Amino acid sequence: MTYDRLVCANCAAPVSEGRCPVCRASREHLRHQAGGMFAQLNPAMLVALLVLLIAVGVLLSQAVQGG
C-alpha cells in the first residue's frame, strides 16, 4: 500500500505531505514497512545481481552438458 492516497485522521491532510507529527510517523512507518528485501539496492546493484545470476546459470548449464 502506498501512503500517497491515505488521509490523516489527525489533521485531515494527505499523509504524504506530512503536515503533523502523526502524518510524519505514519509516513515513516509505511516507508520502512514497504522496504522489502531489495529496497536498499540501487538499480546498478540490481543489474549487477541479475548479470551474476545469469552467469551462474550459464556456468551450471555448461557443467551439466559437459559432464
Mean pLDDT (10-residue bins), the chain, 67 residues: 73 86 84 68 88 96 85
Total count of domains within the chain = 2
Q: Determine the residue type at 2.
A: T
Burial class (CB in 10 A: 0-12, 13-18, 19+), 3: buried
Q: Grid coordinates in use for 16?
A: 504524504
Domain that holds residue 48: 38-67
Q: What is the DSSP string of 1-13?
A: --GGG-B-TTTSS
7 and 30 part of one domain: yes
From CA 27, how far away is CA 8, in angstroms rounded?
10
23 and 50 part of one domain: no
DSSP class of residue 20 equals: S
Q: Grid coordinates in use for 65?
A: 552438458
Does this model's pTM top 0.75?
no
